[in-house]
Chains A and B, each alone.
Chain A
Amino acid sequence: MAAIATGPGKTPNLLKRLLARPTSAAGLITITLVVLAAILAPLLTAYNPAQLSIVNRLSPPSPEFLLGTDDLGRDVFTRMLYAGRTSLSVAFAVVIVASLLGITLGLIAGFFRKADAPVSRLIDALMAFPDILLAIALVAALGASAFNVVLALGIVYAPRMARVVRASTLVIRELPYVEAARALAVPTRVILFRHVLRNITSPLLVQGTFIFAQAILAEAGLSFLGVGISPDIPTWGTMISVGRQFMNSAGWILFYPGLAIVVTVLALQLLGDGLRDLLDPRLAKDI
């Protein structure tokens, strides 16, 4: 209870407290660097990610091509930076979609007793499918496009958000300040937003971080399997997919995007763990 209803005074030094822990500091700094690298890609490299160069195809890492080139002679380092843009923004959009769906379902299940059983069963049913399998099925049904990948992964991860929101809402719903609002005849939608949602932002932030990490992996997985975003657009997943064919002769094509995924996901997990411990000790005990 106290974990959810932390005072707002704690937010300003949250950054300081995250940086005080070696693991969460490493996570936060790494993810900041990854995001900056993606944003500042044109400044960090002289090449165009789509520029072909048959002469330089499959050349190993060298001062000219930092991380080598792929089968069409495109600079791997450049493509990795630009791929980061797609991968990160797709994952971020997934977090937004999953949050919108999950918060809506979670609030309904947690606040309205009668809706709890049917909505919770729907959430359980969705969670029973393996993530990637459900995503593939949804993308296959909707058609492969960036928008549909985001939508499909949003649906896949919405139940995780919904569970956290439901559990927190069940606690907040019984608190006297919600009763006070009801005694004042405050409309239910205002109670939901002003009193419930505003007091569960901490667990939402933690869950959002984990979904971000999962979405990067899942998007890469879909692209690798060829059911994701069009192979023309570089993402870490499509790069690995292409690189797989040259795994033995030109391992760098596959290795560096893979490393980018590992580092980014690890950094997000470390950051999420740190946020969870600082914001929500109750969850830390459960997991």
Chain B
Amino acid sequence: MNVPETNRSDALLTVSGLVKRFPARNGRTVHAVEDVSFEIRRGTTVGLVGESGSGKTTAGRTLLRLIEPTEGQAIFDGVDIFALPEKQMRAYRQRMQIIFQDPFSSLNPRMRVEAIIGEALDACNFPKGERRKARIGELLTLVGLQPEHGRRFPHEFSGGQRQRIGIARALAVEPEFVVADEPVSALDVSVQAQVLNLLSDLQQRLGLTLLFIAHDLSVVEYLCDEVVVMYLGRIMERGPARAVYGSPRHPYTKALLATAPVPDPTRKRTRVPLQGDIPSPIDPPSGCVFRTRCPHAIDACAQTVPQAEHIGENHHVACIRQSELAVAS
């Protein structure tokens, strides 16, 4: 278990040694998240990226205890929320919220928008009556909708508008920390930009701390201060977005960045093709989980699980060959 240095006192959430294993058939175990540690400073946005099956969504859900973690600590504002009994956790629920990927299944189709947001207001004991009506209008305006939209049902809105309603619901309880679980990947590209701008705008205006889960690296680059790259439940590389994007040190990060489309037809692409699919988390490879697809894998990679190495500027890489590869390139 590697604990990130906690010299920065402005960390809102410090995750250390987070493990989530699910029981599978025949007594086997799905290793969804293994030994994940990182911290999120107040008012910043951290991007959590990885392919499907990398455990990023599970990690995000466990931080809110929507899924119970198997092991680990999550110090939120000085308190280990993983150790709290559910009753005491309730008090923390409204300080942390979530925005979902699918704008269709994240809103109850039988409830009017005002009832959906009203449920969130109930959660923070907001009084009923005129003030509540005004507050719902205010929240809808905040996310770029009109107060009259409160009378409508979710199916009367487009995907982008529904996502805005989901954001309004999350913000209704005035949370400090918001997990955005791929909030734009289900939307049309033209709408994606609008919702991203809204999120970034709201984050600045409300001083939110954001964990932004995505598989699209360009989206994360645009929005995030720091990036955490996950693969098969483990962190491969993390650090300031500038450092990770500018000088990726882990072979997996390099491969991901190489496959990300860049709107520049003249740019030469350095192909680092990833072969095959992500292995099953039921029986993950020994040692470095990425070694089966890594172009630089050597025998030693199968022996030990690489520990995160600090290579400066809060930039961490989990690869036993990172220093020799850095010299070679």
Contacts and interface: CB of A to CB of B under 8 A. Distances in A.
A8 B93 contact: no
Given A180-B169, A183-B64, A184-B119, A8 B110 contact: yes
B109 A8 contact: yes
Contact of A185 (B93, B101, B111): B93
Interface stretch (A102-110, A120-128, A191-199, A225-233): A191-199
Given A185-B90, A185-B93, A186-B119, A180 B109 contact: no
Contacts of A1: 105
B106 interface: yes
Interface residues of A, number: 21
Q: What is the predominant secondary structure among interface residues of chain A facing chain B?
A: helix
A118 interface: no
A7 interface: yes
Interface in B66-87: 66
A7 B106 contact: no
A176 interface: yes
A9 B97 contact: no
Interface string B42-72: 0000000000000000000100101000000
A179 B94 contact: no
B45 to A, nearest CB: 19
Contacts of A176: 100-102, 105-106
Contact of B93 (A6, A7, A183, A199): A183
A199 B108 contact: yes
20 contacts: A7-B153, A8-B153, A175-B106, A179-B66, A179-B98, A180-B100, A180-B166, A180-B169, A180-B170, A181-B119, A183-B64, A183-B96, A184-B120, A184-B173, A185-B89, A185-B94, A186-B123, A195-B108, A199-B109, A199-B110
Interface residues of B, number: 32
A84 to B, nearest CB: 35
B20 to A, nearest CB: 16
A67 B96 CA distance: 72
Q: Closest 5 interchain pairs by CB?
A: A176-B106, A7-B155, A185-B93, A184-B123, A176-B100
A179 B109 contact: no
A9 B153 contact: yes
B234 to A, nearest CB: 25
Contacts of A144: none
A85 to B, nearest CB: 35
Given A183-B64, A183-B97, A9 B155 contact: yes
A50 interface: no
A176 B182 CA distance: 13
Interface in A255-274: none
Nearest to A2: B104
Contacts of A194: 108, 111, 119
Given A7-B153, A179-B100, A183-B96, 14 more contacts: A6-B109, A9-B155, A176-B101, A176-B105, A177-B106, A177-B107, A179-B61, A179-B66, A183-B64, A183-B93, A184-B94, A185-B123, A186-B122, A195-B108
A177 B108 contact: yes
Contacts of B109: 5-8, 199
Contacts of A282: none
Interface of B: 61, 64, 66, 89-90, 93-94, 96-98, 100-102, 105-111, 119-120, 122-123, 153-156, 166, 169-170, 173
Nearest to B96: A183
Contacts of A179: 61, 66, 98, 100
A182 interface: yes
Contacts of B120: 184
Given A9-B155, A176-B102, A179-B100, A198 B93 contact: no
A132 B325 CA distance: 77
Nearest to B108: A177
Interface in A4-55: 5-9
Most buried by B among A8, A180, A182, A199: A180
Contacts of A198: 108, 110-111
Contacts of B154: 7
A197 to B, nearest CB: 10
A241 B166 CA distance: 61
B62 to A, nearest CB: 12
Nearest to A175: B105
Most buried by B among A1, A182, A184: A184
Given A181-B119, A184-B173, A199-B110, A5 B94 contact: no
Contacts of B94: 184-185
Nearest to A5: B109
A176 B181 CA distance: 11
B278 to A, nearest CB: 22
Contact of A5 (B61, B105, B119): B105
Contacts of B110: 8, 198-199
A9 to B, nearest CB: 6
Contacts of A181: 119
Contacts of B61: 179
Nearest to B166: A180
A108 B123 CA distance: 24
A161 B122 CA distance: 32
A198 B108 CA distance: 9
